[in-house]
Amino acid sequence: MDAWGPERVVCVSDRRTGMRGVLVLDNTARGTGKGGTRMSANLTVREVARLARTMTWKWAAVDLFHGGAKAGILGDPNAPNKEEILRAFARALADQVPEHYVFGLDMGMAESDAAIFVDELRSRGVSTGLPRCLGGTPYDQLGVTGFGVAEAVDAATRHLGGELTGSRVVIQGFGAVGAHAARRLVELGATVVGVSNAEGTVSDPDGLDVERLLTLRAEAGDSGIRDYGLRLAPVDDALLLDCDVLVPAARQDVIDRDLAGRLSARLVVEGANLPTSPEAREVLHARGVAVVPDFIANAGGIIAAAYSMDARNSAFTVDESRIFDMVSAKLRPNAVAVLEDSVRRQCTTYDAALAMAQDRVREAMRMRGQLRRDGQAVRRLSA
């Protein structure tokens, strides 16, 4: 805990289903808590709190008016009783949604899971990421976040004087974010030379056939890459493959100080939340490796979520193509701005991005009377 938050941590459990979960509202000075809901077999409260904090900065960085929050369920996302667990989780948090928090999609969750939350609580307003037939914007199926990550890669590459045509990209994680980033990167001219999932890594220095990988994924889920026809190398090989651009798009804490000193990419664009440790950021900065931080590069999902929440509350029809335009229009300049600020201020891109986001959150807290003159928080939501 610090002066930014969290404002509220709600741990919930249900003996009958074995459900165990947590909601963290980090900082809601700029609006209702919003961030996806994660389901993972080794989830911790600390992990959810770190992700909620990232959401605080992410909303501020795109200058949209929601607060930072995240929810998580401890469990296997492929468990046969997942629906029961989701229903128990939704019931346990019924008094928090949608007033304080709106469910959404993160690792281990899909559009059909958002539909269960809505069914259990009888209100479309409790979750984003719903299927179209329930009036939602299925941002994982549409691949909005991955699209935005690829747009950030392109903007950063151009800003650094290069071009994507001929650039060799490696993507760690071939889920909602990684797979759609790969698709858009190929459209933009890049050559994807490696992708991985939790099972292993496939790579080809001459370029992988991303269309075929996407077809395999559609047929067999994320694990489809094992059927690509190349030897599956160990999971950890992906980050050290020879490439120009690295896109971590799986879990947090995968790039540590040691790896930062050895990876070959000249540009790292963070599709995952929190993939790089603070020490690793310093090493990358010292080595001249440009980094577009998570809350700048992967904000496509929240732009889609915000758009769909507005659409739900009004009569206008959702135009999905507009979401992609909005993502591009927000993320490209943000990616360039943090690279420029980092040079101007001689700090890491993360610190440059953080300064921009913190200024906006601090101002909202000040206007709401949550800060003393010396900048200390004086008022908190009760736990």
Q: Which residues bind ligand AKG (CB under 6 A)?
A: 34-36, 58, 104-106, 128-129, 273, 298, 301-302, 305
CA distance 93 to 13: 10
Q: Which of 222, 241, 246, 370 binds ligand NDP (CB under 6 A)?
A: 222
**249, 289, 331, 354: which one binds ligand NDP (CB under 6 A):** 249
Find the angle CA(202)-CA(208)-CA(212) to the nearest 5 degrees: 95
Taking the C-alpha atoms of residue 347 and residue 160, their distance in angstroms, rounded to an integer, is: 17
Q: Which distant-in-sequence residues (6+ apart) come within 8 Å of 147 by Cβ? A: 180, 181, 183, 184, 300, 324, 327, 328
Structure tokens at 374: 């010396």
Cβ neighbors of 164 (< 8 A, separation 6 or more) are: 153, 154, 157, 185, 188, 189, 190
Closer to ligand AKG by CB, 47 or 244: give it: 47
Among ligand NDP, ligand AKG, none, what does residue 224 contact (CB within 5–8 Å per kind)? none
User: Contacting ligand NDP (CB under 6 A), which of 27, 96, 298, 308?
Assistant: 298
Cα gap 370→348, rounded to integer Å = 29
DSSP state of 233: B
176 binds ligand NDP (CB under 6 A): yes
276 binds, among ligand NDP, ligand AKG, none (CB under 5 to 8 A by kind): none
Any bridge partners for residue 11, and if so which?
22
| CA nearest to 58, candidates 259, 356, 373, 282 | 356
Query: Shortest Cβ distance from residue 327 to ligand AKG (Å)?
Result: 12
Residue 3's contacts (CB-CB under 8 Å, 6 or more residues apart) are 375, 376, 377
From the CB of 366, what's the least distance to ligand NDP, in Å?
28
Select from 89, 174, 324, 350 the one that contacts ligand NDP (CB under 6 A).
174
Residue 306 found at the interface with ligand NDP (CB under 6 A): no
Task: Give dist(CA 44, CA 52) in Å, integer.
Answer: 12
The type of residue at 112 is S
Pick the closer one to ligand AKG by CB: 106 or 154. 106
Q: How far apart are CA 102 and CA 194, in angstroms?
A: 35
Q: Which is nearer to ligand NDP, 196 or 348 (CB)?
A: 196
Residue whose CB is less far from ligand AKG, 121 or 210: 121
Is 33 strand, coil or helix? strand
| CA–CA separation, 159 and 185 (whole Å) | 16
Q: Toward ligand NDP, which CB reaches closer, 101 or 371?
A: 101
Closest residue to ligand AKG using C-beta atoms:
104
On whether 330 is known to bind a ligand per the annotation, the reply is: no
Does 208 interact with ligand NDP (rule: CB under 6 A)?
no
Active site residue 330: no
- The answer to whether 58 is a known ligand-binding residue is yes
* 138 is a contact residue toward ligand NDP (CB under 6 A): no
| Contacts of residue 311, Cβ cutoff 8 Å, sequence gap at least 6 | 137, 317, 318
- Which tokens in the block code for residue 51? 């992700």
Residue among 272, 290, 336, 357 that touches ligand NDP (CB under 6 A): 272
> In whole angstroms, what is the distance from residue 110 CA to residue 36 CA?
10
The residue number with the shortest CB distance to ligand NDP is 175
DSSP state of 36: -
From the list ligand NDP, ligand AKG, none, pick the one residue 128 interacts with, judged by a Cβ distance below 5 to 8 Å according to partner type.
ligand AKG
Segment 82 to 121, residues that bind ligand NDP, using CB under 6 A = 105-108
What would the two tokens of residue 181 be? 């980033």
**Any contact of residue 140 with ligand NDP (CB under 6 A)?**
yes
Which residues lie across from 194 on neighbouring strands?
Answer: 170, 203
Query: Which one of the listed residues 30, 38, 66, 70 is annotated catalytic?
Result: 70
Residue whose CB is less far from ligand AKG, 167 or 298: 298
Does 263 contact ligand NDP by CB under 6 A? Answer: no
Q: Is 251 in the site for ligand NDP (CB under 6 A)?
A: yes
Annotated binding site: 34, 58, 145
Annotated binding site for NAD(+): 145
Q: Give the interface with ligand NDP as residue ranges (CB under 6 A).
A: 105-108, 139-140, 145, 172-178, 196-199, 222-223, 235, 249-251, 271-273, 298, 301
Point out the residues that are catalytic.
70
